[in-house]
Amino acid sequence: MTKPKIAVLVGPTACGKTDTAVELAKKLDGEIISADSMQIYRQMTIGTAKPTQGEMQGIPHHLIDCVDPDEEYSVARFKEEALRRIEDILFRGRQPIVAGGTGLYINGLTMPWGFREKDTDEKVRERLAREVEEMGREAFYERLKAVDPVTAAALHPNNVKRMIRAYEIYEVTGKPKSCLDMEAAKEELPYDYVLMGISMERPLLYERINRRIDLMVRDGLIDEVKSLLDQGYTEELLSMKAIGYKEIFPYLKGEMSLEEALHILKRDTRHFAKRQLTWFRKDQRIRWFEVENYDTRVDMAEDMSVYFSVH
């Protein structure tokens, strides 16, 4: 039996995913599922570049404004909720279009993956973090190596977070992470994911990033960050470490000028876009569409719809 096809649109920040996804949705009679790890947070609108009602053009968007800034949200939860939305959209006879720049979310959804919520235990993780501090990274690395040599070989002893995660999986499940990964690789995906990427020349992308940040400030980014702090959301929260928020804190605390803060924000966003491109370029499944080859996003979406229909 032929699996349903799911369109997946990826690319770096500020490359125009929103506009292109909307045009693609018009052509495919689709609905958009956001794969953005920051747009899930309520009240974080300007700094995460959430699409406005006008930009959505009547196309339904899912997995935006799902949780408060102090709530935890994992890749496993994204996968579960995205699959639920996909099933619902297909049931209603429409085409799901997953669009976003969070590589972990894209991979978690479109690739066999052994991670599940039942493999996690926050108390175990906290205890392991204390043990790393007590025994040192190298000793903890040797401890991981003894129970999961395959995973340990792929990690550097300085990567404490991933070492702790791997050992947490072993303690919670009784199986090495590498074994669970092998089991997951045998699992069959429920859908046929067709991945398409938006690419543009670096100078143009950087120019768009700089312009977007200027517009964010004009639209009230500073007040948005101040409002979140005033409500008690602290800098230590994962959500507050997002690009577009953490760079504004020093300005609000009087530690630097607004000009300096925005310079750092633009620089960090450019670096982030570069990391996104590096991540996605490694994925051989993605068919890239160069912005420079099209007069409009409508034209690009037309080519994408044709590509999607024959793959």
299 φ, ψ (degrees, to nearest 5): -65, -40
- What stretches of the chain show up as alpha helix (H) in DSSP? 17-28, 53-56, 75-91, 103-110, 122-135, 137-147, 149-153, 160-173, 177-185, 202-219, 221-230, 249-252, 258-281, 297-310
The residues, ordered by sequence, that sit 6+ positions from 17 with a Cβ below 8 Å of its Cβ are: 9, 10, 11, 99, 100, 101, 198
On whether 114 is known to bind a ligand per the annotation, the reply is no
DSSP code, position 174: S
244 φ, ψ (degrees, to nearest 5): 110, -15
On whether 15 is known to bind a ligand per the annotation, the reply is yes
On whether 296 is known to bind a ligand per the annotation, the reply is no
Could you give the CA distance from residue 266 to residue 150 in angstroms, rounded to a whole number?
Answer: 39
Sheet holding 287-290, edge to edge: 61-62, 30-34, 95-99, 5-10, 192-199, 287-290
On whether 190 is known to bind a ligand per the annotation, the reply is no
**Which DSSP helix (H) or strand (E) runs through 7?**
strand 5-10
On whether 12 is known to bind a ligand per the annotation, the reply is yes
On whether 18 is known to bind a ligand per the annotation, the reply is yes
On whether 120 is known to bind a ligand per the annotation, the reply is no
CA atoms within 13 A on the CB side of 163: 26
What are the binding residues for ATP? 11-18
What are the binding residues? 11-18
What are the binding residues for substrate? 13-18
